[in-house]
Amino acid sequence: MTDVPPGSGKFTRIPRTSGSPGVDVRAKLRDSVEAIEAFLHHAVASGRDAFRRNSPAYASGSMAVIRAAALFETGEFDDLLTETPADVRRALRTLRNTASHSGYRSMDDDLLWLTLTRDLPPHVASWRRAAFD
């Protein structure tokens, strides 16, 4: 974190960086896409009946959305993710905000399931192509 003395009770936020020198942006995108795919697979592998609030599958589905939305937060991957429409980016951000800030109580479970099984996979495939081409 920062040089705050232990026990001072202060937390200082470290600003985000757009990238570290020498870090391959495409490699970072590959890592992110692989994480999204892993969370997505875990979320849907056991079917809709196993996808319930407070289940590991539900948590994985939420993380898939959170990680997908994170691809567009800093602009770091914008040159590689040009095929993702602005409305998809906004929808991911909205769903991410619901999952991470409002909690499961305000989540539409059927909408999240459809997002994970129908809407997100084609975009993940596109991001994979961009990361591995």
Got the DSSP string for 56-113?
HHHHHHHHHHHHHHHTTTSSTTTTT-TTS-HHHHHHHHHHHHIIIII-GGG--HHHHH
Full-model pTM: 0.81
Tell me: pLDDT of 46 over 80. yes
Residue type, 55: S
Average pLDDT, integer, range 10-33: 76
Cα four-point dihedral sign 123, 124, 126, 130 = positive
What is the pLDDT of the chain when averaged over all its residues? 88
Q: What pLDDT is recorded for position 1?
A: 46
